[in-house]
């Protein structure tokens, strides 16, 4: 098994259509999907994100970081939320993603979440992080 992040992205138009959906209907549909993930034992985390109007951006493209308030300005895609699943493969994650409701006009990017074991274990900072994770019950 491995962790895979499903990153939900949509266009401005798809996000606007999503926001015009009946909220009760939306909660029921997504709730049913989330319940399937829970019953299958694969859901580790899932969160939606606030609207782009409530965004803060730290831009590192210049000499010094510049912080600006949202909205983003011109975007082709918005990062709207994520799921983290514990599944056997990217293909299994994709099968779950294909079943997600309210995805018209959207894309779901699937990326494997790396583990601390993939980094050099003799590195001081990796050792400190491992100790912290063990102390907080994350390992």
Q: How many domains does the chain have?
A: 1
Confidence of residue 17 (pLDDT cuts 50, 70, 90): confident
Domain assignment of residue 81, given as a range = 2-135
pLDDT tens-digit readout, 75-86: 667 788 999 999
pLDDT for the residue 114: 93
pLDDT for the residue 136: 95
What are the φ and ψ backbone dihedral angles of 58, each rounded to 5 degrees? -105, 115
How many Cβ atoms are within 10 Å of 97's Cβ, its own excluded? 20
pLDDT tens-digit readout, 64-122: 999 988 766 566 677 889 999 999 999 999 999 999 987 777 889 999 999 999 999 99
Share of the chain above pLDDT 70, in %: 95
Asked whether 5 and 86 are in contact (CB, 8 A), the reply is: no
DSSP 8-state symbol, 21: S
Which positions ≥6 away from 103 have C-beta within 8 Å?
8
pLDDT for the residue 113: 95
Give the span between the Cα atoms of 33 and 36, in whole angstroms: 5
How many Cβ atoms are within 10 Å of 109's Cβ, its own excluded? 13
Q: Specify the CATH number for the domain of residue 100.
A: 3.30.70.1060
Q: Which residues of 17-41 are buried (b: 16+ CB within 10 A; e: fewer)?
A: ebeeeeeeeeeeebeebeeebeeee
pLDDT for the residue 58: 87
- In 11-77, DSSP assigns E strands to 43-48, 56-59, 66-69
Which whole number is the average pLDDT over 16-39? 88
Of 87, 84, 88, 74, the residue nearest 109 (C-alpha)? 84
């Amino acid at each position: 098994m491995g962790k895979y992040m499903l990153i939900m992205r949509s266009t401005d138009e798809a996000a606007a259509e999503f926001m015009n959906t009946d909220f009760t209907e939306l909660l029921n549909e997504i709730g049913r999907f989330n319940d399937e993930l829970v019953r299958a034992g694969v859901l580790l985390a899932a969160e939606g994100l606030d609207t782009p109007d409530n965004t803060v951006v730290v831009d590192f493209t210049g000499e010094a970081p510049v912080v600006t308030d949202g909205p983003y300005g011109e975007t082709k895609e918005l990062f709207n939320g994520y799921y983290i699943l514990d599944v056997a493969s990217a293909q299994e994650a994709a099968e779950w993603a294909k079943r997600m409701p309210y995805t018209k006009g959207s894309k779901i990017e699937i990326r494997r979440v790396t583990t601390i074991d993939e980094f050099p274990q003799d590195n001081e900072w990796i050792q400190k992080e491992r100790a912290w994770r063990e102390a907080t019950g994350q390992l």
